[in-house]
Amino acid sequence: MQTSPKPLPSHIPDFLDWLDVEKGLSTKTQENYSRFIKRFIRWLEFQKLASLKPHELTSDHVWKYRIFLARQTRSERSAAAPLKKSTQNYYLIALRSLLGYFTERDITSLPADKIKLARNKEDKEVRFLNLVELERLFSMPDVSSPAGLRDRTILETFFSTGMRISELVALNRIQVEPSLGADELELGIIGKGGRARTVYFSKRVLSWLKKYLETRGDFDDPLFVNYQSRKGSSRRLTPRSIERVIKDYALRAGLPKNTTPHVLRHSFATDLLSQGVDIRLLQEFLGHKDISATQIYTHVTKKQLRDIHKKYHSGERMKK
């Protein structure tokens, strides 16, 4: 390790390049990190600490920055509600990443694990649908109409593959047409952060895709199209349109109004985990870069373990 003669703000351009080249973060994520870390730099300037070097940053500085974040409002120009705990954590995660960058560059600094995230009571349990609820949802589209058949196929595709909505809307028909009628399809896609992964289409969803594409009287590239698009405009269905359609079907099925495409992805994950799929494999299915992102689904296995312990190891079989 070596001490850097440059003050903290001077390291930010190199840090952002590191996020791009070494971490491979998407452009949007890089923009967010830039915004989050620049708030820390502005705080240093306000505290007259702009000349602070990496090795001079202390836990006390971090604590004071956390107090600053906790007392900020959602708009720096208004007396609005305070920043959510989750938003405060975004700024702290960016700072923790900066310290991780220093470690990788052998620059002496405060260890990244000294940045503790705020406990967030606002966090909610992952929302997912069980199989009974999924069947209700899937039965809502009128499959006798082209749009209804398309919608049923979209729902089936979400649950079969666990795809993100951005990944699903990007699909082209040429990617699936050669496999229609097959027992399964393994399809390579580029997901969040430019990471490649394989998604799996079941025989069931392939049969729905076949029915849907047989009703298409066009040769347009998008797999899922908007039948109401104006002539000459893109027919690719947008994420917003899919979100609106799923919300409508969920309400008609008596399901929570906050049922979204991501809830279907959660349902895919929790269904696999509840059937004994290893969490490391689930990480691959979902395309998560970090296992911590996948661990939000362990509530399923924890409940199962609790139920199994209660049923088989409660002590009731022992003699009193």
> Could you give the domains of the chain?
8-114 (1.10.150), 131-307 (1.10.443.10)
Residue 89: the pLDDT is 86
- Minimum mean pLDDT range among 47-51, 283-287, 291-295: 291-295
- pLDDT tens track for 218-250: 889 999 999 987 766 679 999 999 999 999 999
Summarised one tens digit per residue, pLDDT across range 108-121 is 999 988 888 776 55
pLDDT score, position 76: 47
Distance spanning both ends of the chain, measured CA to CA: 63
pTM of the shown model = 0.62
79 vs 207, higher pLDDT:
207
Active-site option among 192, 210, 211, 235: 192
Structural element, H or E, at residue 32? helix 27-46
Active site residue 249: no
Active site annotation includes 313: no
Residue 305's pLDDT is: 55
Q: Which pLDDT score is estimated for 27?
A: 80
Mean residue pLDDT across the chain? 86
Q: How many helices (H) and strands (E) does the chain have?
A: 13, 2
Structure tokens at 134: 């999924």
Whether 221 and 174 have beta carbons less than 8 Å apart is answered as: yes
Q: Which of 39, 96, 173, 265 is catalytic?
A: 265
Closest CA to 209 of 235, 172, 239, 240: 172
CB distance 129 to 269 below 8 Å: no
Q: In DSSP terms, which residues pair with 196 in a beta bridge?
A: 190
User: If we measure between CA atoms, which residue out of 155, 130, 160 comes closest to residue 248?
Assistant: 155
Phi, psi for residue 161 in degrees, rounded to 5: -105, -25
pLDDT at residue 117, as a whole number:
78
Q: Which of 55, 235, 262, 299 is catalytic?
A: 262
Distance (Å, whole) CA 43 – CA 195: 34
Q: What phi and psi, each to the nearest 5 degrees, are found at residue 157? A: -65, -45
In this predicted structure, the answer to whether residue 126 has a pLDDT above a threshold of 80 is no
Cα→Cα distances 310→170, 175, 299, 302, 320, Å: 46, 47, 16, 12, 18
State the amino acid at position 175 in one-letter form.
Q
Q: What percent of the chain lies above the pLDDT cut of 90? A: 55
Catalytic, 164? Answer: yes
The reply to whether 136 belongs to the active site is no
Annotated catalytic residue within 66, 150, 164, 197? 164
> Which residues, in sequence order, are bridge partners of residue 200?
186
In single-letter form, the type of residue at position 38 comes to: K
42 closest CA partner among 17, 5, 75, 8 = 8
Whether residue 51 is predicted with pLDDT greater than 60 in this model: the reply is yes
pLDDT of residue 78: 47
* Residue of 39, 96, 266, 288 with catalytic role: 288
- Residue 306 is a catalytic residue: no
Out of 101, 212, 249, 297, the active site residue is 297
In the annotation, is 262 catalytic?
yes
- Asked if residue 302 has pLDDT above 70, the reply is no
C-alpha torsion sign, points 273, 278, 282, 288: positive
pLDDT band, residue 315 (cuts 50/70/90): low
